[in-house]
Amino acid sequence: MQTLSRRTFLESVGGGLYGSALLSLLQSEESSAATSRNRQPGGGAPRAKSVIQLFMNGGPSQMDLFDPKPELKRQHGKPYFHKIAGEVEFPEAAGALMRSPFRFQQHGECGMWVSEVMPHLAQRVDDIAFIRSMHTTNLTHELALFKIHCGRMLPGLPSLGAWAAYGLGTENQDLPAYIVLDDPQGLPVNGIQSWQSGFLPPEHQGTRFRATGTPVLNLKREFSEPDAITQAERAFINEIDQRHRRQRAGQPRLAARIASYQLAARMQLATTDALDLQQESAHTQQLYGIGQKESDSYGRRCLIARRLVERGVRFVQLYVNGQIGGQPFTTQGGPGVMLPSNGSAGGGTAARPEATRTPRHDAGLLGWRNGPPPDCAIGGRGGWS
């Protein structure tokens, strides 16, 4: 019978423990890689690993921004009530056709037309893919937001960010896969329904980071305690959660809530690091318009969005919700009304193509609520299209 010395026994056990730890790490990395391989669409591997969606909750018309209409200029002042009477809810609100009050000029090697409203963005047109063939059939603000976020004019469906989180997961287990950066002036028209998970598991809905005050409520303790005590508390709570979950199998909301508590514990350090803009150089902050009154708030959120995708977040949704009496900025009150909203967005958006050249990020979406029609109503373009 072969004897086993104490030294040999300890060496074997130690090697086994190291091997188990290494296996756990490799399994985590392999799981992430396998998820990416299995989810890739056909037609070649995609370059983008994450998406930042910049959503302007207002209705500036494409005819005043990127899509000049020579025929509209020729038809300026002519009524067109009879052409739309059967297509809209309030045709009597339609005024005469209205040409754009802004000057357009071609920019960049691509020759893209951009109006004077977006002088900073005009300098970056060669870094942007403009799609001018899209249209909408929605007649109200709420349905328009459901359409652009969820694909249909129905509440209760998963948003685009939720689908991305569900299909791709996150590459950083310490941060949510889908994060929403809201606007200090308020929520969009549909509120939190704009980043809902619908019929997908609840953990895939957007995690809201507030623009003012504490970004994530209740994330940090009001007092500090030794790490050993904190870890013991978490282990005890986790054991109770798992016991509670086993007794109530088949409840996705319960599983999502437990997962959210576990994620919150991991987020305590990761969130602080991601939101610390002091780590960025003064030049980078200047590129994003930080420190300038008209662009500071939006620029900070743009820079935070970049830092989040650099840390493995799949989908970041950033809202600009300019308000006039509780309603989004549009051109209803006259052409000049939309200038403050667009001006605040210009600096941060224009900086992004130059300042986000990182291996982690090569995709961005810029979206508005449905734009106004080509008529003039109440001194500006109508807001009912």
pLDDT at 213 over 80: no
Average pLDDT on 180-190 reads 84
Instruction: Find all residues with CB under 8 Å of 267, minimum gap 6, and list them.
Output: 174, 175, 176, 216, 219
Q: Give dist(CA 151, CA 163) in Å, integer.
A: 11
pLDDT tens profile 94-113: 667 888 888 999 999 999 99
pTM for this model (two decimals): 0.70
For a pLDDT cut of 70, what percent of the chain falls above it?
57
- For the ranges 3-7, 65-69, 236-240, the lowest mean pLDDT is seen at 3-7
For the segment 321-333, the average pLDDT, to the nearest whole number, is 46
Amino acid at 205: Q
Crossing angle of helices 338-355 and 296-310, rounded to 10°: 30
pLDDT score for 341? 40
Place of tokens 């998406």: 51
CA distance 7 to 92: 92
What's the pLDDT at 16? 46
DSSP code of residue 185:
T
Cβ contacts of 75 within 8 Å, gap of 6 or more: 97
pLDDT for the residue numbered 264? 64
Contact between 119 and 102 (Cβ < 8 Å) = no
The DSSP call for residue 190 is: T
What is the C-alpha to C-alpha distance for residues 349 and 117, in angstroms, rounded to an integer? 13
Place of tokens 């799981």: 31
171-188 burial by CB neighbour count: b if 16+ within 10 A, else e?
Answer: bbebbbbbbbbbbebbbb
Residue 151: predicted pLDDT: 86
| Dist CA 195 CA 204 (whole Å) | 9
Res 90 pLDDT > 70: no
- The pLDDT assigned to 3 comes to 62
pLDDT at 110: 94
Q: Which is more confidently placed, 158 or 129?
A: 158
Structure confidence by residue, pLDDT tens digits, 254-275: 677 667 666 666 666 667 788 8
Q: In sequence order, which residues have a C-beta less than 8 Å from that of residue 317 and are 6 or more positions away?
A: 52, 53, 55, 161, 178, 179, 180, 181, 194, 195, 206
Q: CB neighbours (10 Å) of residue 247?
A: 7
The distance of Cα 227 from the centroid of its chain, to the nearest Å, equals: 34
- Per residue in 15-44, pLDDT (tens digit) is 444 444 444 444 544 555 444 444 444 455
Looking at the chain, the number of H-run helices and the number of E-run strands are: 10, 9
- Alpha-carbon distance of 65 to 126, in angstroms, equals 16
Q: Give yes or no for residue 64 having a pLDDT over 50.
A: yes
pLDDT of residue 163: 92
Reported as a single tens digit per residue, the pLDDT across 328-380 is 444 444 443 334 343 444 444 545 444 444 444 555 665 555 566 666 655 55
In DSSP notation, 101-114 reads SS-EEEETTTTEEE
Least trusted range by pLDDT, from 76-85, 286-295, 361-370: 361-370
Which pLDDT does position 276 carry in this prediction?
A: 85
CA atoms 147, 148, 149, 151: torsion sign: positive
